[in-house]
Amino acid sequence: MIINLESLPLEIYRKIPISIKTYKKEYELSELPFEIQKLIGTINLKKEITYTDTVYDFKPLVSEYGDYTVISNLRELVIDYMTNYLKTLYGEYPFNGSVGSNVKRLLQKRDTTTQRLFLTEELNRMIRSFGSTIDKNIVIKDFSVKKNANNVQTDYDLNIIMTIDDTTMNLSTSFVL
């Protein structure tokens, strides 16, 4: 890579010895002493970063690095919010005890008609709680509950079919009780 010394930022240009500056104006980077190569290399690290993607939220990514993954789509954000909301019981959220759902308690109702009635109200309350802040039209079309029981535990599979701005989405989650 050919470097024109006069095109360098003034703060770096001043640190280059006069003997190098006066010998010639352009150098191959590998011709320069290592200290100067390293100094010029810091320019590349200071490039301006332009952000073009929209990021709505972050999700932790379980890995050895403890990274996060971004949520850049509003539909994905709605699904993530709904999943978190359904998994959070009342009183579990640290700073606001009114956040959460009764879904785990409602899944255990024996009467399926009563269960469906209460679950419908609970899911609509969930949509009202965050739907207005996301500014998306969210409508729950249908949901189903499937019970899988054995001697050790009971699994409930909740499948929710909804539309988010006229796009049909499906949310499936499981509860172990």
CATH number of domain containing 165:
3.10.450.40
Shared domain for 86 and 171, answered yes or no, is yes
Q: Tell me what the mean pLDDT of segment 4-28 comes to.
A: 86
Residue 53 lies in a domain: no
Residue 64 lies in a domain: no
CB contact at 8 A, 41 and 32: no
CB contact at 8 A, 177 and 162: no
* Res. 47: pLDDT tops 60: no
pLDDT of residue 107: 85
Residue 159 lies in a domain: yes
Number of folded domains that form the chain = 2
Residue 50 lies in a domain: no
The DSSP secondary-structure symbol of 66 reads -
Residue 24: give the domain boundaries: 2-45
The DSSP secondary-structure symbol of 165 reads T
Shared domain for 18 and 80, answered yes or no, is no
pLDDT of residue 71: 83
Residue 52 lies in a domain: no
Q: Tell me what the mean pLDDT of segment 54-72 comes to.
A: 76
Quickly state the pLDDT bin for 44 (edges 50, 70, 90): low
pLDDT of residue 48: 57
Q: Give counts: helices (H), strands (E), the chain.
A: 6, 7
Measured between its terminal Cα atoms, the distance across the chain in Å is 64
- Angle at alpha carbon of residue 141, lines to 137 and 83, rounded to 5°: 70
Residue 158 lies in a domain: yes
* Res. 66: pLDDT tops 80: no
Residue 54 lies in a domain: no
Shared domain for 100 and 167, answered yes or no, is yes
